[in-house]
Amino acid sequence: MKIQNVTNYLEELAPLSYAEGFDNVGLLVGDFNTDVSGILVTLDSLEVTVDEAIAKNCNLIVSFHPIIFSGLKKLNGSTYVERVVLKAIKNNIAIYAMHTALDNIKNGVSGKIGEVLGLKNTEILIPKSNLNTHETIGMGMIGELDSTMSENQFLQFVKTTMKTECIRHSELLGKSIKKVAVLGGSGSFAIENAIAQNADVYISSDFKYHDFFKAEKQILLMDIGHYESEQFTKNLLVEYLTKKITNFAIILSEKSTNPIYYI
């Protein structure tokens, strides 16, 4: 099997045309005509990820985040991005990134969060029409819990279920939680959308100080951390690729690439 065959499967799931204009997705390092020895699926492509791929005889890394984002003007190993690319090239390892192409499908990043939290009757939070297929694509997800919870119960549920050490949240309103909006990664731009759809709570990450004021006593905002909000994305990709490719193992990276620590 060639890398091209694998990327074809990935683009059946999340066409690159779905990615946001600012993004850098697709095969970032490597040759489409290379024979695949193994696939390592990860959230981020770091040096430790390339080392893991080498140790596990995987010459294709399927990553959610793109290691090359804003472009490279030199390649001398002076930054972590350059070191990753150099190590991958030296060891004939290809890197493919999905990022917002996977964000914009219903069963993508936010859909996986909804699945983990057990949400029912889910719909895309910020839908946009895809003129090519008439399929609805877009960012985020909104759905309902099986049964209502108090705010404190829900906070503890999310902390345990999403395996996060810290939740930053807005003022508790003394309301029951039933309708839940989620968006993996940086999601402050969708606060108003969650409020407009009458969500009781909005879960995302990277909220700034002033973003919490936008709750306006209408919604509970929860920032669970960027890595934590996207951590199950690699499981989604392994599950998908395992169904498509049966002649060799699809390996879930064992390395945490979260750069943030808590005390």
Given a cut of 60, is residue 131 above it in pLDDT?
no
**pLDDT of the residue at 81:** 96
Given a cut of 60, is residue 99 above it in pLDDT?
yes
* Contact call for residues 140 and 113 (beta carbons, < 8 A): no
- Grade residue 132 by pLDDT with cuts at 50, 70 and 90: low
Given a cut of 90, is residue 133 above it in pLDDT?
no
Q: Point out which residues pair with 141 in neighbouring strands.
A: 124, 182
Structure-block tokens of residue 239: 């599950």
Structure-block tokens of residue 224: 């669970």
Domains of the chain: 3-101 (3.40.1390.30), 104-229 (3.40.1390.30)
| Distance of alpha carbon 204 from alpha carbon 186, whole angstroms | 7
| Distance of alpha carbon 234 from alpha carbon 43, whole angstroms | 6
* Contact call for residues 62 and 40 (beta carbons, < 8 A): yes
* Contact call for residues 38 and 109 (beta carbons, < 8 A): no
For strand 136-149 and strand 168-169, is the pairing parallel, antiparallel, or unpaired? Answer: unpaired
Average pLDDT over residues 172-191: 97
**pLDDT of the residue at 134:** 58
Average pLDDT over residues 27-50: 97
| Distance of alpha carbon 187 from alpha carbon 183, whole angstroms | 6
Given a cut of 90, is residue 138 above it in pLDDT?
yes
**pLDDT of the residue at 70:** 86
Given a cut of 90, is residue 91 above it in pLDDT?
yes
DSSP H or E stretch at residue 92: none
